[in-house]
Amino acid sequence: MPHKQKSQKSWMEVKHQGNDCFKRGQYGEAINFYSEAIKELEKSSKKNPEDLAILYTNRAASNLKSGHCGECVKDCNISLELYPFNVKSLLRRAAAHEALERYRQAYVDYKTALQIDCNITAAHEGTNRMTKALTEADGPLWREKLPPIPMVPLSVREKLTQQTAANTVKPNPAPQQNNISEPKQNAPSGKDLKRAQALKEEGNGLVKKGEHKKAIEKYSQSLKYNPTEVTTYTNRALCYLSVKQYRDAVRDCDEALKIDSSNIKALYRRAQAHKELKDTKACVDDLSSLLKVEPNNSAALKMLQEVQRKK
């Protein structure tokens, strides 16, 4: 028994040595200490996935600082397998992908992090950088070439929020780990996703016929099956604009922008709704945000001129 306690203490001590080196900017030494701590913890009878995940994400940070971006991605991959939706791992992997010019993968990681916490400045800034880079590389249809963005279930977001709060009070959040390691329980099934897509397409067909109220119903049904599809919100917002339900249009654009903070359609349609609601400031703010992403967007430039003339 004393041997086990010593082993457990040993990896913690080595981890702290790694942390000290990292703070001093000695990233190579930090990598060595974290690697040793990982080996020690792997041998320990008291290892748990979250402790290992933290060691891997710490080593990932050291690799990133050292310019070993490929190694950083590998460490983050392991960390995220052990501890799904760990924000630090997502952000570090995104930064490594960005440095390696894997802009699509970086975009997906930044957007996933924002699902967990929409207030992460680094993720917002990263998303904006990737949007510009991908627009330049792939043109206006760049989103069609993205890998799928994983949906972070509400249950996981709540658990991670609770855990963050718990960490400020008690050092061992392990009891919540079992819940976090089952992130897929509330995610839409493949069947739900297919149903959502079919209903969305029915809505699209109704829009082409000018039947906007019926399309709203189809989009609403689609969102019950998949509440994280950005284009369903922006399509329904378009319908709400057509039937002059401007506040509903704003609400749908708000939801779309929670998922994709630089979505051009959501920003433009919310600007249209704010214009109709006589909220000039909000309209100008949305158009300004849009033009940061697409500086030459002619529709946005035209509306901005119209609104500013009326001031």
Counting residues of the chain whose pLDDT is more than 90, the rounded percentage is 53
Instruction: Sketch the domain layout of the chain as residue ranges.
Output: 48-164, 190-310
Question: How many whole angstroms separate alpha carbon 189 and alpha carbon 183?
Answer: 13
Q: Domain 48-164 has what CATH class? A: mainly alpha
Average pLDDT over residues 198-211: 93
Rounded to 5 degrees, what angle do the CA atoms 127, 84, 190 make? 85
User: Which segment of 160-164, 172-176, 240-244 scores lowest on mean pLDDT?
Assistant: 172-176
Q: Which residues contact 80 (CB under 8 A, 6 or more apart)?
A: 53, 86, 89, 90, 93
pLDDT for residue 171:
37
Is the pLDDT reported for residue 173 higher than 70?
Answer: no
Question: How many whole angstroms separate alpha carbon 134 and alpha carbon 144?
Answer: 11
Q: What is the rounded average pLDDT for all residues in the chain?
A: 84
What are the tokens at 169? 């009070």
pLDDT digits (tens, 9 = 90+) for 44-55: 877 788 999 999
pLDDT digits (tens, 9 = 90+) for 5-28: 444 458 889 999 999 999 888 889
Question: How many whole angstroms separate alpha carbon 141 and alpha carbon 267?
Answer: 17
What are the tokens at 229? 């599809």
Q: Which residue has the tokens 């320990």?
A: 44
pLDDT for residue 120:
87
pLDDT for residue 4:
44
- Burial zone of 209 (CB within 10 Å; 0-12 exposed, 13-18 middle, 19+ buried): exposed
Question: How many whole angstroms separate alpha carbon 38 and alpha carbon 83?
Answer: 15
pLDDT digits (tens, 9 = 90+) for 44-96: 877 788 999 999 999 999 999 888 999 999 999 999 999 988 999 999 999 99
Would you place residue 187 in the very low, low, confident or very high pLDDT band (cuts 50, 70, 90)? low
Is the pLDDT reported for residue 168 higher than 50?
Answer: no
Q: Which residues contact 183 (CB under 8 A, 6 or more apart)?
A: 84, 85, 152, 153, 155, 156
Would you place residue 309 in the very low, low, confident or very high pLDDT band (cuts 50, 70, 90)? confident
| CATH superfamily entry for domain 190-310 | Tetratricopeptide repeat domain (1.25.40.10)
Average pLDDT over residues 164-193: 45
